[in-house]
Structure 1
Amino acid sequence: MTSYFFKHFALAIIIIVFSNSQLSAQSGNTDNQYQKPLAQVIKEIEIRFGVTIKHSEAQVKDKIVKYADWRFRADLDKTLDNVLKPLDMKVNKEKDKVYKLKEYEYNRWEVQDGWDYLDVLGAKYNDKQSWEKRKAEIKPQLFEALLLSPLPAKPNSKPIITAKRVFDGYTVENIALEILPGVYVNGSLYKPIKYKGKIPLVLSPDGHWAQQRFRPDCQIRCATIAKMGAMAFSYDLFAWGESMLQFKYENHRKALAQTVQTLGGIRILDYFSSLKDTDTAKIGISGGSGAGSHSILMTAMDDRIKLSAPVVAMSSYFYGGCPCESGMPIHFCAGGTNNVELAAMAAPKPQLIVSDGGDWTAETPQHDFPYLQKMYGYYGLSNKVENVHLPEEKHDFGINKRIALYDFLIKNFQLDATKVKDKNGKYDESKVTIEPEKALYVFGDNGEKLPKNAIICFENLKKLFPNFKD
């Protein structure tokens, strides 16, 4: 009798505990919410689906997955979404059954999501008149979003210009412009060795690649443009290149970077538009990667730019991976916009979109470029926007991308191709001199010529923008 009692008593306790655990699980009030360390969950995913998920210990340290076992599904992709998105993480597929753990990028949409949103934007206008009305709504709000309305007062200082170096068919001199009290933008000006009267200007902001504007491919591009008969001004983005004398590299990842480098572009236009050598009817801009986003924004905001060529940058489903591209709320202007609509604001000026198969421009020819053609069609000038797509190439400003730019400049700015082509009609970049990095500095080998009024550190910069909130 006693053993019978205890047996049924124990069974009752088990039933009660199990029932309570089920009720608790359903109500979400369990003490530990069935949590497991992310590292353990990843291991279980690998075993269950027969895959490898590459990651470092630091990526998973102290990360917990709540209701871990409840997040598994029959489908691998759905399981990964359920587990990783709440932790702001994702995986990229490297090859069959091999993945790599990454931080989730909310500014990188699914391709179809980007296309759908572009269609929503495109439904706001259907002819030149309605599009011009939309442009007039967006443009002033861009200045407001960047805290550049009104524009800050321009410092009354002269440019700092280094000695000129002479090379085969072109010259180089370094220039610093004060864009705010104690804040400088630095660059190198490439000019043809001989020219008469006014000549075109091509602004060449530098993108997110190592060695910044000191890279060989950047020097080659600007020198080749100069040899063909135009000025090319290669300049640093904020806290990039020589700007790091004033601000730390990590400051480039601050939202205010977008404001400062946009103001830098405006001040550069102020300076060159005032020179007697500049043909103000032929001012262009071409940058790659993050500088491509900068080129799109500058063209949308400043009518002095008459030609644009963003390289490996424009996308309806990617808003730029750096705060210098999307840190300020420019994409919330006029009820929301994106980089393709901003690129359309260049119409009807000549525009070249260079895309490739190895980044977020891989799908450009399918949807984004046809949208631009439609917008240019409102002006009867669909042929003024071009797309050179290089499906086998990756994210860089390599030779084929440079050739696309050269061809476009020759056609629209009437540059002299014979100065840079061999007897077979091919571009010859071999006669460009690649200078050592320090030769392109304005402020000396070790920054010893930095002006005494130069602002040092980001906190001092913020004081110039009292309405800026981190």
Structure 2
Amino acid sequence: MKRIALFLVAMGLSSILLAQTQNSDSLYRQPLKTVLSEIEGRFKVKIKYSENQVNNRWVNYALWRFRPDVDETLANVLAPLDMKVNKEKEGVYKLKEYEYYRWNAAEGQATLNHLASLYQDKASWEKRKALIRPLLYQAQQLSPLPAKPLSKPIITPKRVMDGYTVENIAIEILPGLYINGSLYRPSKIRGKIPVMLSPDGHWAQQRYRADCQLRCATMARMGVMAFSYDLFAWGESLLQFKPEDHRRSLAQTIQTLGGIRILDYVLSLKETDPGRVGISGGSGGGSHTVLMAAMDDRIKLSAPVVSLSSSFYGGCPCESGMPIHLCAGGTNNVELAAMAAPNPQLVVSDGQDWTVTVPGQDMPFLKTIYGYYGKPERVENVHLPEEGHDFGYSKRKALYDFLVQNFKLDVAGVKDKDGKYDESKCTIEKEPAMYVFGEKAERLPANAIKGFEQLEQVFKAATK
């Protein structure tokens, strides 16, 4: 069929093709794998993908979507499937498993304008906020919250570093479901100290990465407890689940529940100052940061990094898999970020991803909401126009400065003679050192859930 259609196009027999398109039963459907192979042959390119990405996926009117340009052709073919490719180098593409629909800047601005018309002062904004918050719990099937397991956290022996300590911790958040992380603390604790939740994004190695360890260790050396934790079906969570389980809608709910239970734990520690509890994550961890600060008023400071935008709702189901953005007639991440007001908030953006619009488009909206409380200065933006999507030193520096300012920290011991934050005394541990359950999962609890189907059963029982 494919060869016949191509021949007819080449011969210019458009009337025959037009007649054939009336056949609504066929729609000229072709398997996605076949279509990608056709694109590779026609344009002399390589498209990398896994079998799971293409199995049981079909494209209607595939050959009508072809254009002389390969990039336009790929966009036309993949858009109806909510998929896209990344160009790794000239002639080589990689299929992305999921790409949430991204708006353009004008659409984002139009949405902000509409939302801004719903309130005019603190009273009307507080009414809107009170409407949205419980709906966020309902949208994630967390109303009411499932009962908290009575088990104690599993904690590894403390590792002593230069000016800080590290313990790996697993918290049971549903029967047999564990969220794992590492708790960084100052070596010397005097009185009550602040705590920062540190979820991270979809970068390789996640909390095991050097820049994540540097960030948490430096915060600890500054006098802050920092809890770095895994996304669902990521990191050590892969002992219980498959990587593809991360891209299921329930991932967002589990991550939110995990953040709530981590808050419960750190606030139970005698050294925690409940008035100085913050959260900061990058990319997908930034989306989680915004959501947590909107939902839980125990969080007093937030800092989403390279994530916030009125034209992007998250590139993964763990950010947008549940209908949180449909709450209260429709919302977006910028309005959710505004729900943190008047608590201090730092938005870090860059010039090479969707956060490029933050300074001119999203910050004015946030400033207006914070202005309702007479505190517009409490929401800040550090924009790095020459940088891209990462959590590099300049982003970490922005976070450190913000914490010093708002948590009243003494940083004399973490800056060098030139006044720069000195991260050289932080130890970059190898990944196995950060495991709770051992290199071969030998310490994985006997009741641990194994697989997504079992999780669904446990979640249903816990929330019925």
Normalising by structure 2, we get a TM-score of 0.86
Q: Are 1:307 and 1:351, in contact at CA under 8 Å, matched by a contact in 2?
A: yes
1:407 corresponds to which of 366, 376, 401:
401
Query: Shift in Å at residue 441 of structure 1?
Result: 1.4
Task: Identify which of 274, 294, 297 aligns with 1:303.
Answer: 297
CA contact (8 A) 1:141 1:333 kept: yes
In structure 2, the partner of 1:219 is 213
Closer, same or farther in 2 for the Cα pair 1:118/1:428, shift >3 Å?
A: same
Structure 1 counterpart of 2:61, one-letter code: K
Paired position in structure 2 for 1:283: 277
CA contact (8 A) 1:421 1:428 kept: yes
Distance 1:450 1:117, change over 3 A: same
Q: Take 2:282 and 2:416, find their aligned partners in 1: how far apart are those partners? A: 26
Judge conservation of contact 1:24–1:30 (CA < 8 Å) in 2: no
Q: 1:181 to 1:220 in 2, by over 3 A?
A: same
- Percent identical: 65
Question: What's the counterpart of residue 9 of structure 1?
Answer: none
Q: 1:44 to 1:30 in 2, by over 3 A?
A: farther
Q: Which amino acid aligns with 1:323?
A: P
- Render the CA deviation track for 1:221-271: whole Å, top value 9, x for unaligned: 011001111111111121111111222222111111111111111111111
Deviations 1:302-350 (A, max 9, x none): 0000000011111111111111111111111111111111111000100
Structure 1 residue 179 corresponds to structure 2 residue 173: yes
After superposition, residues 253-264 of structure 1 pair within 5 angstroms as 253-264=247-258
Deviation at 1:28, TM superposition (A): 2.5
Which residue identity is paired with 1:428? Answer: D
* Paired position in structure 1 for 2:356: 362
Unmatched segments (≥5 aa) in structure 2? 1-12
Letter in 2 for 1:172: V
**How far off its partner does 1:152 sit?**
0.6
Match of 1:5 in 2: none
Matches of 1:82 and 1:223, distance apart in 2: 46
Do 2:182 and 2:228's aligned partners in 1 also have CA atoms closer than 8 Å? yes
Q: What is the one-letter code of the residue matched to 1:236?
A: D
Superposition map of 1:83-232 within 5 A: 85-86=79-80, 88=82, 105-232=99-226
Aligned-partner residue type, residue 253 of structure 2: T
Among 13, 21, 24, the alignment partner of 2:19 is: 24
Among 316, 336, 355, the residue aligned to 2:330: 336
Shift of 1:442: 1.4
3-state SS of paired residue (1:118): helix
CA distance in 2, matches of 1:267, 1:308: 18
Shift of 1:358: 1.9
1:356: Cα distance to partner? 1.1
- Cα distance, 1:85 vs structure 2: 3.9
What residue number does 2:451 align with?
457
- Structure 1 residues 118, 277: CA separation in 2 closer, same or farther (over 3 Å shift)? same
Correspondence 1:66 to 2:99: no
1:292–1:314 contact (8 Å) kept in structure 2: yes
Superposition CA RMSD, Å: 3.2
Partner SS, residue 463 of structure 1: helix
CA distance in 1, matches of 2:254, 2:393: 30
1:125-154 Cα offsets, whole Å, 9 max, x none, are 111111111111110011011111011111
TM-superposed CA distance for 1:92, in Å, is 6.7
Q: Secondary structure at the match of 1:155?
A: coil
Equivalent pairs counted in the alignment come to: 444
Q: Against the structure 1 CA distance between its residues 327 and 89, is the aligned structure 2 distance closer, same or farther, given a 3 Å change threshold? A: closer
The residue that corresponds to 1:7 in the other structure is none
Alignment correspondent of 1:378: 372
- Look up the match of 1:3: none
* One-letter identity of the residue aligned with 2:459: F
Contact kept in structure 2, 1:93 and 1:100, CA below 8 Å: yes
Which residue of structure 2 lines up, in the alignment, with residue 318 of structure 1? 312
| In structure 2, C-alpha distance between the alignment counterparts of 1:364 and 1:371, rounded to whole Å | 10
Residue 434, structure 1, aligned to residue 428, structure 2: yes
CA distance in 2, matches of 1:392, 1:304: 35
